[in-house]
Amino acid sequence: MTLTFQDLGLSSSLMQSISKMGFEEPSPIQAQTIPLGLQNKDVIGQAQTGTGKTAAFGIPLIEKIDVKKEHIQAVVVAPTRELAIQVSEELYKIGYHKRTRVLPIYGGQDINRQIRSLKKNPHIIVGTPGRLIDHINRKTIRLNAVHTVVLDEADEMLNMGFIEDIESILSNVPEERQTLLFSATMPDPIRRIAEKFMQNPELVKVKAKEMTVPNITQYYLETQERKKFDILTRLLDIQSPELAIVFGRTKRRVDELSEALTLRGYTAEGIHGDLTQAKRMSTLRKFKEGAIEVLVATDVAARGLDISGVTHVYNFDVPQDPESYVHRIGRTGRAGKTGMAMTFVTPRELDIVKNIERTTKRKMDRMKPPTLDEAIESQQQMTVEKIRSIIESDNLSFYKRTAEELLEEFDAQDVVAAAIKFMTKEPNSVEVKLTEEAPLYSKSKGKNRSSNNRRRGDYNRSGGQKKPNNRSYGDRDRSKGNNNKRRYSNSK
């Protein structure tokens, strides 16, 4: 018997919101987590993005909010500003009919504006670690009445160097609380957080087959670094995706790829941590609306983004680990639809493919890189299909007189060939130059010498690239002089 939301005994205001959001029945993680959340039990949820985990913790969280009380009752900690915004938007929708006030807090946004918003007494704060710590130290956020804490994508916060911040935040929350921790993987530092700050947590695990999304066909293409871009454009011409995401390893790569695709005649834009928040949101809106064909992104910038309708994912650079791979390809094949994922691999990176296959228990099919002739032929076929559909629609009377005039002057085969040529988007051969990226090496062989291997994605906290002025992504914007001593004596 399938569990429904009605079976969970939720209040009428929450049921109203759930119905309005179009939820029909709980996903596996929701079916397991919501009852535990409602019973005030601590929960460790092992699940990827796209499994419905925001509603899994959001529904019981909002059910427990007392809207008459004018103070912060729950805190959700998220690794990136995009995820913080996305989670807060979903919590707002879930709590709409209950009139729950939700406030996102993140770096790169004017702190004085945040302080003014905090004075309006939100019930739930969704924040990135650095900015939360900043407000705690300024005494502009008080967590003494918090009854629920959620740590979302804890493994990503570990990768970004936020573990100390998380411990500091948890030490500022009352011991008598409910703690829910969500993570795609369970490395030792995350386990230690659970042991230290959680009370007999229940483990909810979404099976691996649900994490790897079975309705995605997965391919790898072996090629040389300098040939990748031409192969990418040929694939775009042959496959003609409705919405596609191209993943690059670094911010520089994303900028160069989006510019190169634009030069070749595609509508493409990139997102990464150096862009302003307004620019990122604008780019994502255009992508969702179909005004952009191709979104180019780094791992961190795209993580947690709720984008439906993506048909193709192209891993221009191999991901740094299997978890990143699963997150990347999970952008497509959603809501029961099929999707395609293609990973470009240099000969020295083939071991990484094997490692991904071992972890996901899914084999990637080898795809032969398409030739220029195949790309042209594919474009021609698409034109022929368009012509066929126009003929079948039988709405040609206005054009037949002109056609007769052309046929009096030229051979019929030449006229049709000219029409096909005119309508066919021939592959663009504009010369582009991408900065070569050093290949990744399989971590299992201990050779991973990539210069960007300190942490996944595009977060730079020290060394390497200069940190942008808007403190994007790292979000660690507190001053060195503040009192950040960790208080563990009373921790669980």
- pLDDT tens per residue, range 177-205: 999 999 988 889 899 999 999 999 999 98
Q: What is the spatial distance between Cα 150 and Cα 305, in angstroms, rounded to a whole number?
A: 18
pLDDT tens column, 234-281: 999 999 898 899 999 888 899 999 999 999 889 999 998 777 778 888
Asked if residue 344 lies in contact with residue 317, where contact means CB atoms within 8 angstroms, the answer is yes
**What confidence tier does 227 reach under pLDDT thresholds 50, 70, 90?**
very high
d(CA 326, CA 217): 13
Give me the amino acid identity at 162.
F
Q: Name all contacts of 421-428 with Cβ < 8 Å and 24+ positions apart.
A: 423/383, 423/386, 423/387, 424/376, 424/379, 424/380, 424/382, 424/383, 425/237, 425/265, 425/379, 426/376, 426/379, 427/233, 427/234, 427/237, 427/372, 427/375, 427/376, 427/379, 428/233, 428/263, 428/264, 428/265
**In the chain, domain spans:** 6-210, 212-372
For Cα atoms 347, 213, 47, give the angle at the middle one, nearest 5 degrees.
Answer: 105
Q: What is the pLDDT of residue 373?
A: 84
Confidence of residue 455 (pLDDT cuts 50, 70, 90): very low
Q: What is the mean pLDDT of residues 83-109?
A: 93
Q: What is the rounded CA–CA span in Å between residue 30 and residue 267?
A: 37
Q: Could you tell me which residue, 365 or 456, shows the higher pLDDT? A: 365
pLDDT of residue 33: 94
Is the pLDDT reported for residue 1 higher than 90? no
Dihedral sign from CA coordinates of 282, 286, 287, 292: negative
Say how many residues make up the chain: 492
Q: What is the pLDDT of residues 268-319, one digit of tens each?
A: 999 987 777 788 888 888 998 889 999 999 876 666 566 777 899 999 999 8
In 10 A of CB 358, how many CB atoms? Answer: 11
Residue with tokens 């829910």: 180
Question: Residue 42 and residue 200: Cα distance in Å, rounded?
Answer: 7
Write out the two tokens for 57: 């913790």
Does CATH number 1.25.40.10 belong to domain 6-210?
no
At 450, the pLDDT band (50, 70, 90 cuts) reads very low
Per-residue pLDDT reduced to its tens digit, 134-154 = 999 999 999 999 999 999 999
**All residues at 6 or more sequence positions from 460 whose CB lies less than 8 Å from its CB, including other chains:** 467, 474
State the chain's mean pLDDT as an integer: 82
The Cα–Cα gap between 315 and 318 comes to 6
Query: pLDDT at residue 462 above 70?
Result: no
Residue 5: per-residue pLDDT: 86
For residues 376 and 229, is the Cβ–Cβ distance under 8 A? no
The contacts of residue 81 (CB under 8 Å, 6+ apart) are 104, 106, 107, 108, 109, 128, 277, 472, 473, 475
Q: Which helix (H) or strand (E) holds 388?
A: helix 372-393
Q: What is the DSSP string of 172-204?
A: TS-SSSEEEEEESS--HHHHHHHHHH-SSPEEE
Where is 222: in which H helix or E strand? Answer: strand 216-222
Q: Which of 6-10, 22-26, 208-212 has the lowest mean pLDDT?
A: 208-212
Mean pLDDT of 203-232: 81
**What pLDDT is recorded for position 324?**
76
Amino acid 325: pLDDT: 85
Q: What are the backbone dihedrals phi and psi of residue 327, each rounded to the nearest 5 degrees, phi first?
A: -65, -40
Measured distance CA(474)–CA(468) in Å, rounded? 10
Taking the alpha carbons at both ends of the chain, their separation in whole angstroms is: 39
Please tell me if the domain spanning 6-210 has the same topology as the one spanning 212-372: yes
pLDDT grade for 23, boundaries at 50, 70 and 90: confident
User: What does the pLDDT look like over 376-421, one tens digit per residue?
Assistant: 887 788 788 888 888 888 778 888 889 888 998 999 899 888 888 8
Which DSSP category does 460 fall into? Answer: -
Work out the pLDDT band at 2, boundaries 50, 70, 90: low
Would the pLDDT of 448 be above 50?
A: no
Percentage of the chain lying above the pLDDT 70 cut = 82
What confidence score (pLDDT) does residue 146 get? 97
Of the chain, the percentage scoring pLDDT greater than 90 comes to 44
CA distances from 491 to 188, 189, 278, 340, 344 (A): 19, 16, 39, 46, 47
Read off the pLDDT of residues 55-74 as tens digits, 9 standing for 90 and up. 999 999 999 999 999 999 99
Q: For the segment 324-360, what is each residue's pLDDT rounded down to a tens digit?
A: 788 788 888 766 677 899 999 999 888 889 888 887 7
Say what the pLDDT of residue 75 is. Answer: 98
CATH superfamily of 212-372: P-loop containing nucleotide triphosphate hydrolases (3.40.50.300)
The DSSP call for residue 343 is: E
Q: According to the model, what pLDDT value does residue 20 have?
A: 82
| Lowest pLDDT segment from 132-136, 206-210, 226-230, 366-370 | 206-210
The C-alpha atoms of residue 257 and residue 254 are separated, in whole angstroms, by 5
In this prediction, residue 476 carries a pLDDT of: 38
Residue 428 confidence (pLDDT):
64
What pLDDT is stored for residue 435 in this prediction?
81
Query: Averaged over 111-139, what is the pLDDT?
Result: 95
Q: 202 is written with which tokens?
A: 């229940």
